[in-house]
Copies of this chain bind each other. A is one copy, B any other.
């Protein structure tokens, strides 16, 4: 190892250290691919690996001896770092379903899950470094991607195999398993359009999350697709909690032109909105229809029961864990999109009544 480093000569001769970015540009591949290839980790094809190694040789890149000398003994463990307060941990069942799916796949392979909560997303990166340096985990699963997420570049730099529950175009350093956000939004808007609704509002989740942005775009696309006027569509962002969902519902229904249908980014807020309707003397669905993005027991025990789109977080998480294990075992990065969610119509939606202006 030491001899190999000396051969490249970059540090020994006092030259400026060659960066991964330079190697990536020279090889015409992503930084992630360079990182995997140079760290001798799976996740890139043999052709890419050869191209990267040639570029690294050309530029005189010096490997990081300390990192490589740790060897390749597997930890048989996968890591998951959540940022506190994780939106998902108290307010809805997404977290438990996700965890159940990850564990289903890990258990089949006798792999443990190491869980860590941190206060700031930046702290995640320190945990990743420590885990990888000590080979406490063989890879990590990411969730709740931010619009501008510092973990992604860090993973590339660290060279830690990763899979994302969710997706983001251009992520070539991690496997991704994404929901069909566009298809789900079209299913919801198309159904409401068929019932005669023209003024639709949305109670959205946390604005800084990447998937909230995905849904923002998906709903606009769905409105266009259904021939509805974007100007009549309103969005209120929340933190996904029942209390915040109620605040948003009050705000929407107190406007000069209240919507005839409100779609919610989770089941808890949709359920909580029924209480606001009750409190404001409005009937669901006579005065306003309600749809939840996630289906759950909760949507079935409310009166009225809530029309909802079934998502499959357990499956999504299971497939992400499977993709990660494949990468760890020498396979390549993969990108999967699930089928769109299935809409189950219940009592919270109805055709817009005749005579009512929408």
Residues 101-131 of A contacting B (Cβ, < 8 Å): 103-104, 107, 112-119
A interface vs B, CB < 8 Å?
77, 84, 88-91, 93, 95-97, 99-100, 103-104, 107, 112-119, 136, 241-243, 246, 268, 271-272, 274-275, 278, 297-298, 300-303
**Known contacts A136-B112, A297-B268: A117-B103 contact under CB 8 Å:** yes
**Known contacts A100-B89, A278-B303, A303-B278: A112-B113 contact under CB 8 Å:** no
Residues of B within 8 A of A88 (CB): 96
User: CB within 8 A of A97: which of B90, B112, B300?
Assistant: B90
Residues of B within 8 A of A95 (CB): 96
**Known contacts A112-B116, A116-B113, A117-B107: A275-B302 contact under CB 8 Å:** yes
- 7 more A-B contacts (CB under 8 A) besides A107-B118, A272-B301? A84-B103, A90-B97, A99-B115, A104-B117, A107-B119, A274-B303, A302-B302
User: CB within 8 A of A303: which of B93, B116, B275?
Assistant: B275
B241 touches A297 (CB 8 A): yes
B90 touches A90 (CB 8 A): no
**What are 21 A-B pairs with beta-carbon distances under 8 A?**
A77-B114, A84-B100, A89-B96, A89-B99, A90-B97, A90-B100, A90-B297, A91-B297, A95-B96, A104-B117, A113-B116, A114-B115, A242-B298, A242-B300, A242-B301, A243-B297, A268-B297, A271-B298, A272-B297, A274-B303, A275-B303
Residues of B within 8 A of A297 (CB): 90-91, 241-243, 268, 272
Min C-beta distance of A344 to chain B, whole Å: 16
Residues of B within 8 A of A84 (CB): 100, 103, 107
Residues of B within 8 A of A275 (CB): 301-303
Nearest 3 CB-CB pairings of A with B? A103-B117, A272-B301, A242-B297
A114 touches B116 (CB 8 A): no
Question: Quick one: closest B residue to A95, CB to CB?
Answer: B96
Residues of B within 8 A of A303 (CB): 274-275, 278, 303
Question: Quick one: closest B residue to A137, CB to CB?
Answer: B112
Residues of B within 8 A of A114 (CB): 77, 112-115
Min C-beta distance of A1 to chain B, whole Å: 25
